[in-house]
């Protein structure tokens, strides 16, 4: 090979090495370079900041992962009651997380302790906050039974610490989920160094609280604007080219702010209860399972524990606990969580123990003809309230919003430090195809308003255009009003003889059967309803969290 060809070969090798180095440099910077413009992301000098290293949503504390899928929602067994309010229909739910167990007395008393410390009930300004969150312990009383031991001890005694909380209304369950969201987010930001460590113990009071929504929308007003807390973390602070602090607060783009806790929808709860993770074909779902476990019976068929009951429910002709020492369900009232085996998703007590609130407003029909994806009835869309200067409106200690419920109880809706919410208006609905109003609880619910011709045929009643449920769901409307002069509540029963239903916009679905129920009700497809502002000794709840990112937990990798 002559010198000329050798020189060309050397040049080609050098060019190839240069191209490889450039390629490696580019690939190493791909995560921090905008593919559309070529501009840098996460530049130390400033500019757009984004978590390009985010891999996987962390499993929220106390929950199990439920991979979403399509299933047959509704009762596929015989319906001897002929309710026809849970006819089989095909639904699809996205992946989500659900509490392994019901919320326990220990969980809930921790919440009560927080409220007592932050909003002292001996202060008249805050007394109703703590009182409104207290479970109704009187649900245990029976006019012909002695249950005072449970009335006095069930909620707080350590002997019942890990038993499911009861006496909690749907409204109280929602408020607990909101509180839990803030506490989990607060801890995540402390651990990431954005918030002063232990601020929740040393710097929190009624005028200095943490709200997730406030931190996202107006972070400088969190903790009452206490900069010592907001800038007191141990994270290395970034500065721009001129030395000014940047990225002082975490945003959604950081991936650090957890997704909110909430009550599961009815479709999510039923899907999770069935626990059919081992089945991959929709056609074999229908009729495969009657309970959260395999088989058609309530007793175990496994050799190790053959004959043992698989859940806590009322057996036979009214057997609460069974013959002492014999193989029965081992509980006469509720049982400690995790007493029985979990289902295939790792969820405990999805049948029996306590029935559970879900998010949905009750209607006899599930309108799968309109929607078969993440079905939920109960959407009331709101938005942040805005001040005249364009800033979001933060609730102050003088602006706490209380709601007087139909049963006379008073609960706090908006607490200090939270963002005030208002219904959406034409700014969000004008010429929009997917929704047209804030309150959608009555959408296609079977009454005359659901008809395309309702405007011509509908008869307005009671002189109220806001009474959307009208004739079909016109349950009694009891009146509770505060007499400002006397300082007492006036309670008036609705004595109208024209009521035709117990269903209205304030009744919610509960699922799962309880220690008081026969085996008929522990089928996950069963659905019943109860007023959202009332409580019982057999309804509890558990929380859910939506999944962000990939459907499965394999990081969204391609399977082929």
SS3 55: coil
3-class secondary-structure state, position 544: strand
* Whole-model pTM over 0.95: no
Q: Are 476 and 499 in contact (CB under 8 A)?
A: yes
pLDDT value at position 180? 98
Q: How many CB atoms lie within 10 A of CB 514?
A: 28
Distance in angstroms (rounded) separating the CA atoms of residues 105 and 113: 12
Contact residues for 261 (Cβ-Cβ < 8 A; gap 6+): 60, 177, 178, 180, 181, 184, 543, 544, 545
Task: Please give the Cα distance from 124 to 18 (Å, whole number).
Answer: 75
What is the predicted pLDDT for the residue at 313? 66
Q: Residue 110: which H helix or E strand, with range?
A: helix 105-118
Tens digit of pLDDT per residue, the chain (560 long)?
565 666 666 666 766 666 555 555 544 445 789 989 999 998 877 888 899 989 889 999 999 999 999 888 988 777 777 777 888 889 999 999 999 999 999 999 999 999 999 999 999 889 899 999 999 999 999 999 999 999 999 999 999 999 999 999 999 999 999 999 999 999 999 999 999 999 999 999 999 999 999 999 999 999 999 999 998 888 877 777 777 888 889 999 999 999 999 999 999 999 999 887 555 444 444 445 677 766 666 666 666 665 566 666 667 766 776 666 655 667 889 999 999 889 889 999 998 899 999 999 999 989 999 999 999 999 999 999 999 999 999 999 988 888 888 888 888 888 999 999 999 999 999 999 999 999 999 898 887 666 554 554 444 444 444 444 456 788 888 888 777 677 677 888 888 888 888 899 999 999 999 999 888 888 899 999 999 999 999 999 999 999 999 998 875 555 55
Question: To which H or E segment does residue 187 belong?
Answer: helix 170-191
CATH for the 73-91+265-378+505-535 domain, from 3.10.20.740, 3.40.50.920, 3.90.1580.10, 3.10.350.10 = 3.90.1580.10
Which pLDDT tens digit goes with each residue over 370-427?
Answer: 999 999 999 999 999 999 999 999 999 988 888 888 888 888 888 999 999 999 999 9
Helix (H, G, I), strand (E, B) or coil at 476: coil
The residue extents of the domains of the chain are 73-91+265-378+505-535
């Amino acid at each position: 090979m002559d010198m000329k060809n050798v020189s060309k070969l050397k040049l080609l090798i050098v060019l190839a090495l240069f191209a490889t180095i450039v390629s490696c440099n580019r690939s190493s910077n791909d995560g921090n370079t905008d593919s559309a413009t070529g501009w840098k992301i996460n530049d130390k000098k400033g500019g757009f900041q984004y978590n390009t290293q985010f891999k996987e949503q962390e499993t929220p504390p106390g929950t199990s992962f439920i991979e979403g899928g399509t299933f047959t929602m509704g009762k596929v067994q015989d319906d001897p009651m002929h309710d026809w309010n849970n006819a089989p229909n095909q639904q699809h739910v996205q992946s989500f997380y659900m509490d392994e167990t019901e919320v326990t007395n220990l969980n809930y008393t921790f919440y009560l302790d927080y409220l007592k410390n932050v909003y002292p009930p001996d202060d008249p300004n805050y007394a109703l906050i703590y009182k409104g969150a207290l479970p109704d312990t009187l649900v245990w009383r029976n006019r012909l039974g002695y249950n005072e031991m449970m009335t006095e001890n069930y909620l707080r005694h350590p002997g019942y610490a890990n038993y499911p909380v009861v006496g909690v209304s749907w409204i109280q369950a929602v408020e607990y989920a909101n509180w839990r969201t803030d506490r989990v987010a607060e801890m995540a930001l402390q651990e990431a160094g954005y918030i002063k460590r232990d601020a929740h113990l040393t710097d929190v009071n009624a005028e200095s609280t943490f709200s997730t929504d406030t931190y996202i929308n107006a972070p400088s007003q969190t903790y009452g604007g206490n900069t010592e807390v907001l800038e007191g973390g141990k994270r290395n602070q970034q500065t721009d080219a001129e030395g000014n602090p940047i990225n002082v607060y975490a945003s959604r783009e950081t991936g650090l702010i957890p997704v909110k806790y909430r009550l599961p929808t009815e479709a999510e709860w039923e899907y999770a209860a069935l626990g059919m993770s081992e089945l991959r074909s929709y056609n074999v779902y229908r009729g495969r399972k009657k309970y959260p476990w395999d088989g058609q019976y309530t007793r175990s068929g496994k050799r190790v524990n053959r004959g043992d009951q698989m859940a806590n429910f009322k057996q036979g002709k009214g057997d609460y606990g069974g013959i002492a020492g014999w193989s029965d369900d081992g509980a006469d009232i509720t049982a400690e969580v995790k007493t029985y085996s979990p289902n295939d998703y790792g969820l405990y007590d999805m049948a029996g123990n306590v029935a559970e609130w879900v998010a949905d407003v009750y209607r006899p029909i599930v309108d799968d003809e309109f929607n078969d994806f993440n079905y939920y009835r109960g959407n009331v869309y709101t938005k942040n309230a805005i001040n005249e200067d364009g800033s979001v409106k933060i609730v102050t200690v003088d602006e706490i919003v209380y709601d007087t419920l139909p049963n006379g109880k008073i609960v706090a809706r908006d607490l200090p430090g939270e963002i005030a919410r208002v219904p959406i208006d034409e700014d969000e609905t004008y010429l929009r195809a997917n929704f047209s109003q804030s309150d959608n609880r009555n959408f296609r619910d079977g009454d005359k308003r659901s008809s395309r011709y309702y405007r011509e045929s509908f008869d307005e009643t009671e002189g109220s255009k806001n009474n959307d449920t009208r004739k079909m769901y016109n349950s009694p409307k009891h009146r509770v009003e505060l007499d400002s002069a006397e300082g007492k509540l006036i309670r008036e029963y609705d004595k109208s003889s024209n009521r035709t239903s117990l269903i209205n916009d304030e009744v919610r679905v509960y699922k799962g059967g309880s220690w008081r129920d026969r085996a008929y009700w522990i089928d996950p497809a069963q659905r019943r309803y109860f007023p959202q502002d009332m409580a019982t000794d057999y309804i509890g709840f558990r929380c859910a969290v939506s999944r962000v990112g990939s459907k499965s937990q394999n990081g969204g990798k391609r399977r082929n």
